[in-house]
């Protein structure tokens, strides 16, 4: 363990993963009591600032994304959702009347509400119209069932085949659930959105290592730049502690800690 940190110079997360594997081996497999390793050298925990795109860079990336993945990328930037929160979005959680999106079971098993950008109301409505056709075809073929969390399918037996519980962004084909053996149409594979984003970033000639999660960071930073209250941004992002949201104040467009360089005043 110490060699990983001293000579291997691995990240703290890599060392922790190796330590967890070692403890699991002794406790669960070998069933040998292993004392806590207090004398090992621990890798230093790094603190990195998030990658944030400028509005012009966001526009350049989004202009190179179309179709379903373009819509998903615009939702990530326009709502601040995490990648899997967007991928797992259900039809019933989109409220066009209130221009809101209810994000269920987010990080920390918490629900929260974020805005539905007015600019996406039309494209999302059109997408759901096409999605409804797929749903009705599946319903006719007896394959409209979707997976529900926390044994909700037992509490609400009809819910798995109802329109409201369908994934907004569904897979292009059916698949067999390895746990239950049922044939279902799952949500879209998140890797496909990640690949589409990577192609768009490359096509836009950006040097920043932007990913779909970068759009969430950009969402928060641009809201703070426009004068939004940090507590409001905290609620939109679903952070438990405002100190987590405070990290975005370090990447505002006025340099370090949001101040203006004296050179710019000359």
Question: Which residues are the active-site residues?
Answer: 82, 107, 213, 216, 239, 248
Which residues touch 167 (CB under 8 Å, ≥6 apart)?
Answer: 87, 88, 89, 90, 91, 146, 185, 186, 187, 188
Q: Are 54 and 251 in contact (CB under 8 A)?
A: no
Burial class from Cβ neighbours inside 10 Å (0-12, 13-18, 19+) for residue 29 reads exposed
Question: Which residues fall within 8 angstroms of residue 6, CB to CB, at 6 or more apart?
Answer: 41
Number of H helices, E strands in the chain: 11, 5
Beta strand pairing status for 175-176 and 112-115?
unpaired
Tokens at residue 5, please? 């940190």
Instruction: Give the residue among 164, 150, 170, 211 at the shortest CA–CA distance from 87.
Output: 170
Cα separations in angstroms, 21 against 5, 8, 40, 198: 16, 17, 16, 32
Both structure tokens of 129: 């119209």
């Amino acid at each position: 363990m110490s060699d990983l940190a001293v000579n291997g110079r691995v990240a703290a997360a890599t060392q922790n993963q190796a330590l967890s594997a070692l403890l699991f081996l002794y406790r669960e497999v070998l069933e040998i009591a292993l004392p806590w390793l207090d004398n090992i050298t621990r890798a230093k925990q790094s603190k990195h600032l998030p990658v944030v795109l400028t509005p012009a860079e966001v526009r350049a990336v989004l202009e190179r994304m179309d179709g379903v993945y373009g819509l998903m990328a615009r939702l990530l930037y326009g709502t601040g959702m995490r990648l899997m929160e967007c991928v797992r979005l259900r039809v019933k959680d989109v409220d066009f009347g209130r221009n809101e999106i209810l994000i269920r079971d987010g990080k920390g098993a918490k629900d929260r509400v974020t805005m539905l950008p007015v600019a996406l109301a039309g494209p999302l409505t059109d997408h759901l119209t096409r999605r409804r056709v797929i749903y009705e075809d599946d319903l006719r073929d007896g394959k409209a069932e979707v997976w529900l969390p926390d044994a909700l399918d037992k509490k609400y037996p009809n819910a798995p085949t109802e329109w409201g519980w369908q994934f907004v962004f569904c897979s292009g084909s059916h698949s067999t659930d390895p746990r239950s053996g049922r044939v279902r149409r799952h949500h879209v594979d998140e890797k496909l959105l990640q690949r589409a984003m990577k192609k768009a970033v490359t096509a836009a000639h950006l040097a920043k290592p932007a990913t779909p999660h970068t759009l969430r960071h950009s969402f928060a930073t641009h809201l703070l730049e426009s004068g939004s209250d940090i507590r409001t941004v905290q609620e939109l992002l679903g952070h438990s502690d405002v100190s987590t949201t405070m990290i975005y104040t370090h990447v505002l467009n006025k340099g370090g800690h949001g101040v203006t360089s004296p050179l710019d005043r000359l």
